[in-house]
Structure 1
Amino acid sequence: MKKLLFTITVFAMSFTMNAQEETGITLTVVIQNVLNSEGHILSGLHNETTFMKAEGIKTSKDKAEAGELILTFENIQPGDYAFSVLHDANDNNRMDFATNGMPTEDYAMSGESLPMGPPTFSDAKFTIEGEDKELTLRF
């Protein structure tokens, strides 16, 4: 009897634990126009607190492959976010700039505006609500 009770308890716990792991929303980011296979693609999902100040709340580092890259981030809670991506061709883990201040590596940012200078969170902001979301960014 104890063995049966133990088995039922473990079985019920496995369902509860799996349900907790599957909460939140899935964000799929399609990055188009990766020009070559040099280096890595660095990306980050940010909230207003981390945007342009700290590591994203979800990040990835993927080997660059010419063409298109699809990234998936799971268990995202509803709210306002911004997404940034950099093709770090020389693998130095940062964006490189020319002497005139212009970036020398490909990058993309969520949002609709094309600001002159560094973007603000409101420039790059998008909202995740109650369902899965897909973003398409182009280098």
Structure 2
Amino acid sequence: MKHSPTRLAVLALAAALGSNTAQAAAPLEVRLTGVQHARGAIRVGLYADDKTFRKEAQALALQQVPATPGNVVVRFDDLAPGRYAIMAYHDEDGNGEMNRRFGMFPTEGYGLSNNPQVVGPPAFADSAFEAGEKAHTITIELRY
């Protein structure tokens, strides 16, 4: 099959655009500090929308790793550039949800991107960060 120079130029441009799009996604490394003990797991939810923030079932992505005293690292690969927020917690009893006293106050260790001091439910805006086309690392301190 013979290709015209115009067709070849269009194919080359499409290939170049496709490769730039593939390069736009980058990994996000989340370092969690202050894990108190090895019971249970650390669950880390990645959110891209204030309407779904803190609703784990609606997280853009979720990572779970065994708890280890001290520091734990999770990674989200191929994250497109954009605005995101993280909520992480130490699921000490392994029930897959953050336990709360009176339905509001966390009884398990938790942390948010940007480590904001919060009174009441945390807001997406306080935890939001920009991820670009290069690898990005954030550190979150778990509070018990």
**TM superposition score category, shorter chain reference:** 0.7 to 0.9
Give the aligned partner of residue 120 of structure 1.
123
Give the aligned partner of residue 96 of structure 2.
93
Give the aligned partner of residue 3 of structure 1.
none
Structure 1, residues 65-119: CA drift from partner, whole Å, max 9, x if none? 1111111111000110001101000111111122484211000001253120111
TM-score computed with the length of structure 1 as normaliser: 0.78
**Cα 1:100/1:51, change in 2 over 3 Å:** closer
Count of equivalent residues: 123
Q: Is the 8 A contact 1:85 1:108 kept in 2?
A: yes
State the SS of the aligned residue for 1:122: helix
TM-superposed deviation, 1:123 = 1.1
Compute the RMSD of aligned alpha carbons.
Answer: 2.3
Does residue 57 in structure 1 map to residue 90 in structure 2? no
Moved more, 65-74 or 112-121: 112-121
Give the aligned partner of residue 37 of structure 2.
36
State the SS of the aligned residue for 1:62: strand
The 5-angstrom pairing of residues 9-88 of structure 1 reads 24-48=25-49, 49-53=51-55, 54-88=57-91
The runs of at least 4 aligned residues of structure 1 exceeding 4 Å deviation read: 18-23
TM-score computed with the length of structure 2 as normaliser: 0.76
**Cα 1:112/1:103, change in 2 over 3 Å:** closer
Give the aligned partner of residue 8 of structure 1.
none
Gaps (5+ residues) in structure 1?
A: 1-17
Distance (Å, rounded) in 2 between the aligned partners of 1:21 and 1:129: 13
